[in-house]
Structure 1
Amino acid sequence: MTSTSASALVQELDNAPDVLTWLNDTLTPQDNHVPLAALESLLADLLTATDLSAVTTSTALEHTIDEVSRSAPRLTYDLHFMRDGAISLHTALSTVTARIPAGSGTSTALDRLQTLDTAKRRMEAVRDVLREAESWSSLEAEVTALLAERAYDKAAERLSEASRSMPVFAGTPEYEPRRALMVSLQNQLEAALSSALVGAINSGDTALCRNFYGIFSNIQRESEFRNYYFGSRRAGLVASWQNEILEDTELSVPAAPRQSFSAYWATFCASFLAVLNAERTSIPAIFPDPQITLSTFITSTLSILQPSCPQRLATLFNTTGSSALKDIIAIYKTTEEFAASADKIMEKIQFSVAPTDSTLDGPLPPKHTRRRSMRMSMSWRSNSATNFSRPQQSTINDVLDWDQTLFQAFLDFQVEYGTLERRLLSDELSFASTLTPNKNSSPDRARLLRERAVDVFSAAEESLVRCMSFTYGYAAPGLMSALDSSLASFVDSWTQSLTVNFSAPSGAPAESEDDLADLDYSPQDWSNIQLVLHLLASTRAVLERLGTFEGKLRAVLVQIATAFRLAQHEGGVYTPGATKGAGSLLAQSPLNSAALHTLLSSAESHPPVPLLTTTRASIASLARALQSSLQHTLLAPLYAHLSSYASLALWAAPGDPRSMRTAGDLHVPVFSLSPSDIVQRVAEGLLNLPRLFEVYADDDALGFSLNTLPNVDEAYLGGLSEYIHAQSPELGHNRRTSLVLPPKPVVLSPEAVAAAWLSSLGHSILSHLTSSVLPKIGTLSVAGAAQLSSDLGYLSNIVRALNVEYEELDRWKEYVGMNDEEGGRVIGEKLPGDQVLLLIAKMRGWTS
C-alpha cells in the first residue's frame, strides 16, 4: 500500500461520520452475491492500510513534537536578544539625536561627515608624500653605503621600495630627477654585480645565480639578468656559427677544408641540444618560469646568429643552383628532429625542481628568494598531484613560440616551393631531352625514349616525396604545376628532336617483306616505318607510365584531403609529424589557399579527372607527329606521282572527246575515257596499302592514339568504337588503343585499326590532291575537263573501297563534268562562296 493510498484512506475516514459507517460502506459490496472469501480479503487489506496510516501519523507527530521541544527554549533567548538589541539601538539613536544642533537636518550632518572624510584622506596622502620625500632624501646615501658593504640584497630591496613610490611623483617636476637617480643607482648595483654574476654563471653556481636573479628582479631588471645568462650559455654556439666557413654558403674558397651547410647544421643542432639538456636542470633552479625562459633562450640564440640562418639558406642557391632545394629539405628534416628533441626537453622541464626547494632543513634563503621558492614548491606539488591545470598548461604552451622562430627560416622557401621544384626538375630532366640520332639506330631511339622515361618518372616520384617532406602537401598545387610543365617539356623536346631529325639516316636500312617488294618504298622508307612503329610503342609506354604515376599522385592527394578533413572535425590543422609551430606556420601561410582545397576536391572526384593535362596533351602531340611522319612515308610514292599531275599537257588538249567521231561516212561512238597513268599509279598505291597493314597487323603501336591521326574522321572513329563494342569480345588479336587523351582503353581488332589508318591515309591523299594539286591546273579544255572528270571518278571509286567519303572530291568531280551551259547557270547560283567552283570556273574560262 503506497503513501498515496494511505492518505486517501485517512481522507475517507475524516469524511465519514463515524468508523462503523465507514466500515459498513466499505465492506458492503455492490453485488449482494459477493463471496465471503473476497469480502475477507478486502477486510484484511483495509486493516493493513489502517495500520500503516496509524504508524505514519504517529511518526510524523513525534517529529513535530521533537522540533517544538528543541525550538521552544531558544525562542525565549531569541526574543530576549531582540529586545536587548532594540534597547541599544534606541539608546544610540537618542545619543546621536541629542548631539545634532537644533534646526540642522540629516543632509547637513552627512555633508559635514563627507568633508571630514575628505580632509582625513588628503592629510594621509600628505603624510605619505612627506614620508617618501624623507625616504628619497637619504636613498642615494643608503644605497651607496649598502653597495660599499656588498649588501646587495638590502640595496635591491631599498631600491624596490623606492621604485614603488615613483608613481607618487608622477606629473610633478620632481619625477624626472628622481627617475634619473633611480636608474643611476640601479646601474651602479648592476655594475657591482656584473662580474660576480658572470663568474657565478660560468661556474654553474645555480644557488648564487638564483640569488642574483632575485636582486635583479627587485630592481626590475630581469631582462638584463637573462641577457647575462643567455649570453654566457650560448657563447660557444655563437662563436662556432660565426667562425665556421662552409663550402656551399661562401663565395670565396679558402685553402682549409670545409664542410657543407647540411653537415654543419646537424653538428650545430647536436651541440644546441646538449646545451638545452644541460639547462634542463639549471634553468628551473634559477628562474620561476623555466619553460618560458628556455623558449626565450632558444629564440634569442637563433636571432643573434650572424649571418642569419635564412641568409645562409638563400646563399645555397647562389653557390649550388637549383639542387640547393635538396640541401634545404635535408636541413629542414634535421631541424624537425631537433625540434622534436627540444619539445621533449620542454615537457620534462616542467617537472624539474630547484635544489633549494627539496632541502627543507637548510638555512632559509633571503626574503624575496624564499617567497619565490615557496611558489615553485607549490607548483611542483601541484604538478606531482593529479590537480595539474590543463587549461593553464595549454596557455603556457601557446606562448612558447620557439619552434615557430625555428621554422620561420624555411617558410619563404616553402611558399616558393613550386618555383624551386620546377627549376630543380628542369635541370634534372635536361639530360633526358638529349638525342643524338646520328649515333643511334632506329630501335635505339625507341629504347632510349623508354629508358629516359623511367628516369624522368623516377625524378617525378622523388619530387612528390620532397613535397610531402618539406610542405606536408600544402604545396601540392605548385608541385602539380612543376610536374606538369617539366614532364610536358620532356615530351615536347622529344617531339621536336624527332620532327627535326627524323629523316636522318639511322643505321642500316631495313629490308622489306618479300610480299611487299613490289611496293614503291626505298630501304630508307622501310627503315623509317620501323622506327616510327617502335617510337609509337615507346610513346604508348610513356603514357602508361604517366597513368601509373598519376595514380600514385592521386592517392597522395586523397590522403592529404582525408587528413585535412579529419583535422577540421577535430578543430585543428593538418600537420602530421610536424611540431605545432611548423604546422601553424604552414596553415597560416599563402600555401593554405583555395587552389589547394580545389585540387584536393578534384582528386576525390568520381570518375577521376586527369591531373597532368599538359603532359597528356604533349604525349598526344608526340603521337600526332609520329603518325604524321609515318603517314608521310607511306604516302610519299603517291605524292611523287601527283607532283607532275597539274602540269600535264592533256588538260589543255583541244576537242571534245564525248562527241561522235567520223570515219568516212561512218559515225563511230566514243566510250568513256580511261583514267590517266598517274591516277592509275596512285590508285594502285592506295589499293596496295591494305597489304601493308596486313603485314603489320600484329604491331600494337598502330592502334595507339587513333584520334590523333592526321585528317582522321572523328565520326568514323566514333562509329567504329560503337561497332566494336557491339560485337563479340572474341575478335581475334585484340589490342588496346586510345581514342581520346586522357584515354579510356577501347579494344579494337587489327582489322578495325587498319581501317582507321586506311581512312586517314585516304583523306590525307585526297586533301593533298584537292588543296595542293588540282588548284595548280592552269587551263581546262573540254577534252581536259573530260579527262579530269574521268580521273576523279575513278579515284572516287578507289577510295570508297577504302571506306573513305570525301565531299570536296565529289564537288570537283561534279563541277568539272559540267558543260559550259551548266557551268554558267551554277556560277550564278553559288558564286562567290564556293571556292572549288571559282577555281574550276577560271580553268574553264567561265569567268574572267
Structure 2
Amino acid sequence: MSLSATEVLDALEDYDDLAAWINDTLTVSDGEQSFESLLELEQQMSQLIASLDVGCEDTSSQLERVIDIVSKGIPRLTYDLHFIKDSASSFQRSLANVLARSRQAIPDSTASALEQLKRLDTIKRHMEAAREVLREAESWSTLELEVTSLLGERKYAKAALRLSEASKSMVVFQNTPEYDPRRMLLVNLQNQLEASLSSALVAAINEQDLETCRDYFFIFSDIQRELEFRNYYYGSRKAMLTSMWNEAEASDIAPEGSIVTGQTFSEFLPKFYASLLVLLNQECHSIPLIFPDPAQTLSAFLSSILASLQPTFSQRLASLSSYYGDIALEELIAIFRVTADFAVGVSKLIKQIQHSSVSQDAVDPPVVPPQRSHARRRSMRMSISLRSSIHRSASGIEKVPSLDDSLGWDQELFHPFLEFQVEYGSLERRLLDHKLQKMMSSDLHKVPGSDQARVFRERAVDIFSVAEESLTRYTEFTHGYGSLALLRALDGFLKSFIDMWTADVTFASSGTHPTVQDAASEDFSGLDYTTQDWQNIQTTLHLLGSARRVFERMAAFEIKLRSNLTQTSNKFRLHCGDPIAFPIASPGGSAQILEHSSLNSADLHSLLDSVDIEPSQSRESGSRRQGFSSALSEPLLPDARSALSDFAKVCQTSLQSTILSPLRQHLASYASSPIWFSSSGESRSSAFNEVQVPTFSLSPSEIIQRVTEGLLNLPRLFEVYADDDALSFSLHTLPHADSEILKSTSDAILPDLPTHSRRHSVTKAVALDPELVSTAWLSSLGQTLLLYLTSEVLPGINKLNAGGAAQLASDLGYLSNVIRVINVESGELEQWKEFVELSDDVGKVKVDTQFDSENRVFSHVSRMRGWL
C-alpha cells in the first residue's frame, strides 16, 4: 500500500541516514520485469521529488510565518520586560511601606514580649546543643570498656558504630589538652578492631563470601579504614597473578649470567594478560556486591596489580631491549600490541560494570544493613554522586562518561612504554641499520663490476620494502607522534644505503688499463680506448641508470610517505576539535601519555602542517603541476636525495675520467716537450743584425692536433649512447657543467614552474632531448679537460723562450677555436694565450708596472719567460 506525500515526509524524521530513507521509500516490486521496474522506480522518484518540493515550500512558508511572528513580538517583549521591572520596583516600595506600618502598629509592650520570647528560644536551643555535646564527651569515659567488651563478644558492627560516634565528638576537644590523648585512644581502638577483623576478612575474601565482605566493608568505612579494607581485598585477590609474574622465566628477560630456556617474554605476556582478564571478569560480578563504586574499584584493583609487579613492567622492558639490541623495536611493538589488545578487553569490562551499576541504581536503591542509618546515607550519597556523573546527550539518552574522565588504569598500563616511545627514532634507526647491514653484508666487495648496477637496483627494492614497514611501526607504536623521528630515521637509513654503494662500488682506474687498443676505437680518431675502457664506460652507464631507477623509487616512496603523514595530520586536526574521541589511539591512555611527552613538539606540528595540503590548493593545481607535486614542496628525505646526487656525481666523474683518459695521456708529456726552450730563434736573430725573424711554425703541435681530433670525435661517441637515458640523470651534478645549459634542461623539465621551485626538481627523472643531454656532457667534458690543461699541464712547463712561447700561443689558439665547436669557452685559456703572446719587452714592462701576484696565470707565464 503506497503512502501519501505527508506520510512519506513524516517518515523522514525517523531516519538518521538519508540514504536508508530513500532506499526504503523507493520500493520496486520483485515480480515485474526489469524494464517495468525501472519505469515504476522513475515514477516513484518523480513523485518523491514533487513531494519534497511541496514539503520544502510548506516548510519555507511556515518558517517565514514564525520569523514574522518573532520579529513582531520582540519589540513587545522589550516593553513587557520594562513593565515587569517597574512593577517589581513598585511592589518593593509597597512592601517596605507595609512592613514599616506593621511595626508601628505593634505596641511597645507586645514588641518587648516577643523579643524576650525570641531570646529565650535561642538560649534553649544552645543549651540543648551543649547538653548533647556534654553527653558525647561523657561517653568517652566508658568508650574503651564498651569497645573492648563488644570486640570480646565479636559484635564488630556495634563496635564500629560506637567508634564512629566517638570520632564525630572529637571536634569538642579541638584545641584542648584532651584532644591528643583521646585521638590516640580512638586510633588504638580502631587498630584493635581492624586486627580482630583482618584474619576473618582475608578468609572471607578467599572464600568469596560476598555478603560477609560487604558487612566488613561498612565496618571499615565506619572507622575511616576504607583504604585498608581495599588493600586487604586487592592483596588477597591479586596474589596468584603477582606470583605468576614474579616467578615467570623467559629466555629474553632473564638476569645477566643466568641460563633460561623455553618461552620468550612475548609468549608469556599473552598468557599473563589472559589470566588477568579472567580475574577481572570474576571481579565484575563480585565488586558491585561489595563496593559502592564498582568501576572505580575495578580500575584501582587493576592499577594495584600493575604497581605490585616485581620486577616492574619497566624493568622487564629494559631487560628485553638490552637482550635484543638493534632489533628490540620489533619485540617492543609486539608487546605493545598485546598490551593494547588487553586494554581493549579491560575497557569493555569497565564499561560493562559502569552500565550495570547505573542500571541497578536506577531500579533498586543500594542495599545496606538497616541498623546503620548513617551508613545508608553515606552509600546513598555515593550513588547520587555516581548519577550526577552521568550526563545526557542531545537526544536525551543517558551516556556513561569516558574512561579518561575519572579512571587511570590505562595510564598505569601504558606508562612503561613511554621511555621507548620517546626514543622511537633511535630504535627505528637501529633496526633499519641492522637490516641494512644484514642485507648488504653479502653484496659489497663480492659483486663483480659488471653486476654492481643490477645488484644496486635489486637491493634498492628490498631497502624500500624495509622502509615501508616502518610506516606501520611508527603509527602503531607512537600513534603518529613519532612522525618527525620517522623521517629522520628513514632519511639517515636511505642515505647510509646509498653511501655504502658510493664508497664501495669499485670504478676501474683510467691509468691502469691495458695498452692494447680495442678495435672499436678505430672509428674515433684521437680516442684510443681499450677493451677495459669500453667495459668501464658500460659499467658506469649502468650504474647511472640504476641510480635513476633508485631515484624514481625514492620519489614514489616519498609520495606514499607524504600521504601517510597527511592522514596523521588529519587525525591530529580532528583531535583538536574533539579531544575525547581521538581517532588515532585506542584506548586513549597511550595517546594521552604521548600528548604530554617530548614527542608532541612544535617541530612535529610544523611538519604535519607542511604536508597537509588543503583541498583548495589541490584544485588550483593543474594536471601538469599535480604530476610534479613532490617537486613543488620541500623533499621529505633531503639527505637521501643528496646522497643519491653524490653517487651520481661519482659515477659521472668516473665516466668522464674514462672518456678523457686518452686525451689526458696525450697531454701527459706536453709540459716536458723540448719545443718550449729551443735556441734556434735566438741564433737566427743575431745573424740578421738583431732583426727578429720568427722561427716557429704557426701550425699546432702534434699533441694538440691529436687532442683536438679527440675532442671533435666526442660527439660521435655520444651518438652511440644517444638512446641511453642514464646520461640524462642528475645533470646538475655534472662536474664543471655550464650553468646556462643546466638552466635550459631545467626549463625543459618544468617550463611552467617558478624559479624558486626548480631547485627541488632538477633531478626529476624525466626524459630529455638527447641532443640537449649530449650538449651538457660535451660542455662538461670540455671544461674538465681545459681545467686539467690550465691547472696541471701548463703550469708544469719550466721554461719558455720566444720560439716556445710562439708555439704555445699557436697551440692554445688552435685549441680555443676547436673547443668552441662543442660550445665550450674558457676565460683562463684565453688568459694563457694572451700572456704567452706578449713579447719580452712588453712582458717585463707589465711586470714592473702592473704585476698582480693574485693573477695565477700571469705569474706562471712570467716565471716561464724569465720576466721575474
TM-score w.r.t. structure 1 length? 0.79
- 1 CA distance for matches of 2:656 and 2:170? 98
Corresponding residue to 1:94 among 66, 91, 109: 109
Partner of 1:523: 531
- 2 CA distance for matches of 1:781 and 1:718? 44
Task: After TM superposition, give the deviation of residue 373 of structure 1 in Å.
Answer: 6.8
Matched, 1:702 2:717: no
Matched, 1:756 2:771: no
Partner of 2:542: 534
Partner of 2:264: 260
Partner of 1:224: 228
The 1:239/1:315 distance shift into structure 2, 3 A limit, reads same
C-alpha contact (below 8 Å) 1:442/1:530 kept by paired residues: no
Range 377-386 or range 490-499, more displaced: 377-386
Give the 3-state SS of the residue equivalent to 1:172 in structure 2: coil
The 1:796/1:724 distance shift into structure 2, 3 A limit, reads farther
Corresponding residue to 1:367 among 372, 394, 407: 372
- 2 CA distance for matches of 1:210 and 1:506? 95
Partner of 2:416: 409
Partner of 1:210: 214
Partner of 1:651: 676
Matched, 1:773 2:788: no
- 1 CA distance for matches of 2:737 and 2:851? 29
- 1 CA distance for matches of 2:768 and 2:397? 68
The 1:323/1:366 distance shift into structure 2, 3 A limit, reads farther
The 1:512/1:563 distance shift into structure 2, 3 A limit, reads farther
The 1:376/1:179 distance shift into structure 2, 3 A limit, reads closer
Give the 3-state SS of the residue equivalent to 1:748 in structure 2: coil
Task: After TM superposition, give the deviation of residue 685 of structure 1 in Å.
Answer: 2.1
- 1 CA distance for matches of 2:721 and 2:683? 45
Range 485-494 or range 250-259, more displaced: 250-259
How big is the alpha-carbon RMSD for the aligned residues of Structure 1 and Structure 2? Answer: 3.9
Partner of 1:567: 575
Partner of 1:400: 407
Task: After TM superposition, give the deviation of residue 673 of structure 1 in Å.
Answer: 2.1
Task: After TM superposition, give the deviation of residue 656 of structure 1 in Å.
Answer: 3.4
Map 1:81-120; keep pairs closer than 5 Å: 93-95=108-110
- 2 CA distance for matches of 1:480 and 1:458? 16
Corresponding residue to 1:593 among 594, 601, 614: 601
- 2 CA distance for matches of 1:225 and 1:510? 98
Give the 3-state SS of the residue equivalent to 2:505 in structure 1: helix
C-alpha contact (below 8 Å) 1:512/1:526 kept by paired residues: no
Matched, 1:485 2:492: yes
C-alpha contact (below 8 Å) 1:657/1:786 kept by paired residues: no
Matched, 1:833 2:854: yes
- 2 CA distance for matches of 1:712 and 1:333? 54
The 1:723/1:232 distance shift into structure 2, 3 A limit, reads closer
Once the two structures are superposed, residues 219-241 of structure 1 have per-residue CA deviations (whole angstroms, 9 ceiling, x without a partner) of 10001110111111111110000
C-alpha contact (below 8 Å) 2:246/2:310 kept by paired residues: yes
The 1:183/1:822 distance shift into structure 2, 3 A limit, reads same
- 2 CA distance for matches of 1:197 and 1:570? 46
Matched, 1:549 2:570: no
Give the 3-state SS of the residue equivalent to 1:150 in structure 2: coil
- 1 CA distance for matches of 2:387 and 2:423? 49
Map 1:577-656; keep pairs closer than 5 Å: 577-604=585-612, 607-656=632-681
Once the two structures are superposed, residues 232-260 of structure 1 have per-residue CA deviations (whole angstroms, 9 ceiling, x without a partner) of 11111100000002211123465653321
C-alpha contact (below 8 Å) 2:295/2:350 kept by paired residues: yes
Task: After TM superposition, give the deviation of residue 171 of structure 1 in Å.
Answer: 1.6
Residue type at the aligned position of 1:406: L
Give the 3-state SS of the residue equivalent to 1:430 in structure 2: helix
Task: After TM superposition, give the deviation of residue 433 of structure 1 in Å.
Answer: 4.4
C-alpha contact (below 8 Å) 1:407/1:582 kept by paired residues: yes
Give the 3-state SS of the residue equivalent to 1:524 in structure 2: helix
The unaligned stretches of length 5 or more in structure 1 are: 1-82, 101-108, 727-737
C-alpha contact (below 8 Å) 2:404/2:589 kept by paired residues: no
The 1:169/1:548 distance shift into structure 2, 3 A limit, reads same
Matched, 1:420 2:430: no
Give the 3-state SS of the residue equivalent to 1:831 in structure 2: coil
Task: After TM superposition, give the deviation of residue 474 of structure 1 in Å.
Answer: 0.8
The structure that has the greater radius of gyration is: 1
Task: After TM superposition, give the deviation of residue 539 of structure 1 in Å.
Answer: 0.9
Task: After TM superposition, give the deviation of residue 293 of structure 1 in Å.
Answer: 0.6
Matched, 1:234 2:238: yes
Map 1:315-394; keep pairs closer than 5 Å: 315-352=319-356, 366-367=371-372, 393-394=400-401
Corresponding residue to 1:273 among 277, 291, 297: 277
Task: After TM superposition, give the deviation of residue 92 of structure 1 in Å.
Answer: 6.5
The 1:130/1:500 distance shift into structure 2, 3 A limit, reads farther
The 1:134/1:765 distance shift into structure 2, 3 A limit, reads same
Corresponding residue to 1:473 among 445, 456, 480: 480
Partner of 2:65: none
Give the 3-state SS of the residue equivalent to 2:463 in structure 1: helix
Give the 3-state SS of the residue equivalent to 1:690 in structure 2: helix
C-alpha contact (below 8 Å) 2:502/2:647 kept by paired residues: yes
Partner of 1:812: 832
Once the two structures are superposed, residues 766-824 of structure 1 have per-residue CA deviations (whole angstroms, 9 ceiling, x without a partner) of 10000001011111000110111111112112211211111111111111111123323
Task: After TM superposition, give the deviation of residue 431 of structure 1 in Å.
Answer: 3.2
Once the two structures are superposed, residues 20-54 of structure 1 have per-residue CA deviations (whole angstroms, 9 ceiling, x without a partner) of xxxxxxxxxxxxxxxxxxxxxxxxxxxxxxxxxxx
- 2 CA distance for matches of 1:572 and 1:818? 86
Matched, 1:200 2:204: yes
Once the two structures are superposed, residues 696-729 of structure 1 have per-residue CA deviations (whole angstroms, 9 ceiling, x without a partner) of 2221111111111111111222245557999xxx
Range 516-525 or range 153-162, more displaced: 516-525
Give the 3-state SS of the residue equivalent to 1:647 in structure 2: coil
The 1:378/1:673 distance shift into structure 2, 3 A limit, reads closer
Range 789-798 or range 246-255, more displaced: 246-255
Give the 3-state SS of the residue equivalent to 1:281 in structure 2: helix
Residue type at the aligned position of 2:488: S
Matched, 1:146 2:144: no
- 2 CA distance for matches of 1:92 and 1:597? 81
Range 450-459 or range 598-607, more displaced: 598-607
Give the 3-state SS of the residue equivalent to 1:138 in structure 2: helix
Once the two structures are superposed, residues 513-567 of structure 1 have per-residue CA deviations (whole angstroms, 9 ceiling, x without a partner) of 4764874122222221111111111111111111011001100111112222223
C-alpha contact (below 8 Å) 1:281/1:352 kept by paired residues: no
- 1 CA distance for matches of 2:194 and 2:749? 95
- 1 CA distance for matches of 2:122 and 2:823? 116
Partner of 1:681: 706
C-alpha contact (below 8 Å) 1:439/1:506 kept by paired residues: no
- 1 CA distance for matches of 2:456 and 2:779? 29
Give the 3-state SS of the residue equivalent to 1:296 in structure 2: helix
Corresponding residue to 2:462 among 455, 458, 468: 455
Task: After TM superposition, give the deviation of residue 622 of structure 1 in Å.
Answer: 0.5
Task: After TM superposition, give the deviation of residue 655 of structure 1 in Å.
Answer: 3.9
The unaligned stretches of length 5 or more in structure 2 are: 1-97, 618-631, 752-757
Task: After TM superposition, give the deviation of residue 317 of structure 1 in Å.
Answer: 2.0
Task: After TM superposition, give the deviation of residue 209 of structure 1 in Å.
Answer: 0.9
Residue type at the aligned position of 1:465: T
Range 143-152 or range 376-385, more displaced: 376-385
C-alpha contact (below 8 Å) 2:524/2:710 kept by paired residues: no
Task: After TM superposition, give the deviation of residue 288 of structure 1 in Å.
Answer: 0.3
Residue type at the aligned position of 2:353: I
